[in-house]
Amino acid sequence: MSYIRSAAFADSGYVVLDTYNQAADPEEWLDLTFVDWKSSGDTRFAPIASAFGQMECNGFWNHTPPRADKDGVWVQGNVERAPILKARAEEPGANVGRCRVIELQPNDYETAVYNLHQDDNNRLNPDGTGWIVRGFFNLSDNPDSVLILREDRFDPSTEVRIPLPAGSRLIVDTQRFWHAVWHTGPEPRFSLITSWTSGPELDEYIEKYNGKPQESNPPLDQKVIDDTQTEVNRRLAERAAVLSAKGKAKAQTDDED
């Protein structure tokens, strides 16, 4: 047995869909209730679907009974204020797990590279069922900000940088990629993040909106990339030494961007 995966992801691990006309919609995300939740970077989250419909963001596996990131329950207080966002999460027709709006404060490239992480979307996901991936719909207009993806956390040559203008739609296997957002600011960035189960419905949605990998990265000076990697390596080694001295294992987080 093995998981059901999208053929569109087989090589690239992510797809960029046609841009959505975000400017035609009201800014529903500004009316949502946000809660504090540990993540990479300076963030808040507004839950749209959670394990039991409560105003909280915990992984479904941390609830009783623990379960996979599927069958999310709509959070009434927030979906009443954001019916379009709910409809957009439902549009593919794929099973929805966690769904939330993230608010991310501006950061810099070094911080983003330091924050690179893999998600744990498929914890408790039964073998033979659909692999869980994540949709990222940018709500605010951040054309100079990028989602950074890396196959190898420490190898910048594997880096993909996907710009995040309003209406950009990405679907990413965030358990495969190390990822984080470099948000240049100056205002916070808002994005709708949805856990979807791979299968024919998601495949159709990807096809309908011409999902494919981007052709090239926005430019970034190679010296900046190299110097940043050197500094991040130093910081990570320093943190590992501190944790080791305290006798702690490396912190495991469930981050989102």
Query: Where in 132-161 is the site for Fe ion (CB under 5 A)?
Result: none
- What is the per-residue binding string for Fe ion in 216-255, x denoting contact by CB under 5 A? ---------------------------------------x
CA dist 39 to 1, 36, 103, 118, 213, Å? 33, 9, 11, 12, 26
42 within 8 A of 180, measured Cβ to Cβ? no
Q: How far is the CB of 180 from Fe ion (least distance, A)?
A: 7
- The stretch near Fe ion (CB under 5 A) out of 3-11, 23-31, 93-101, 115-123 is 115-123
- The stretch near Fe ion (CB under 5 A) out of 1-9, 90-98, 117-125, 231-239 is 117-125
Residue written as tokens 């900046």? 224
Q: How far is the CB of 151 from Fe ion (least distance, A)?
A: 15
Q: Does residue 173 belong to the site contacting Fe ion (CB under 5 A)?
A: no
| Beta carbon nearer to Fe ion, 32 or 181 | 181
Q: What token pair was written down for 15?
A: 């797809």
- The stretch near Fe ion (CB under 5 A) out of 63-71, 114-122, 135-143, 237-245 is 114-122
Q: Does residue 256 belong to the site contacting Fe ion (CB under 5 A)?
A: yes
Per CB under 5 A, the list member of 119, 159, 173, 203 interacting with Fe ion is 119
| Beta carbon nearer to Fe ion, 173 or 256 | 256
Which helix (H) or strand (E) segment holds residue 224: the answer is: helix 222-245
| Beta carbon nearer to Fe ion, 181 or 202 | 181
- The stretch near Fe ion (CB under 5 A) out of 86-94, 100-108, 113-121, 182-190 is 113-121
Q: How far is the CB of 21 from Fe ion (least distance, A)?
A: 26
- As a whole number of angstroms, the distance between CA 205 and CA 156 comes to 31
Contacts of 191 (CB under 8 A, 6+ apart): 101, 102, 104, 136, 137, 138, 139, 140, 164, 181, 257
Q: How far is the CB of 205 from Fe ion (least distance, A)?
A: 21
Q: Which of 146, 192, 189 is nearest to 42 (CA)?
A: 189
User: Is residue 210 left, alpha or beta, with left meaning phi > 0 and alpha meaning psi from -120 to 50?
Assistant: left
| Beta carbon nearer to Fe ion, 103 or 255 | 255
Q: How far is the CB of 194 from Fe ion (least distance, A)?
A: 13
Q: Which of 27, 52, 175, 34 is nearest to 100 (CA)?
A: 34
| Beta carbon nearer to Fe ion, 36 or 221 | 36
**How many residues appear in the chain?**
257
Contacts of 37 (CB under 8 A, 6+ apart): 43, 44, 45, 57
- As a whole number of angstroms, the distance between CA 101 and CA 192 comes to 4
Residue numbers of the site for Fe ion (CB under 5 A)?
119, 255-256
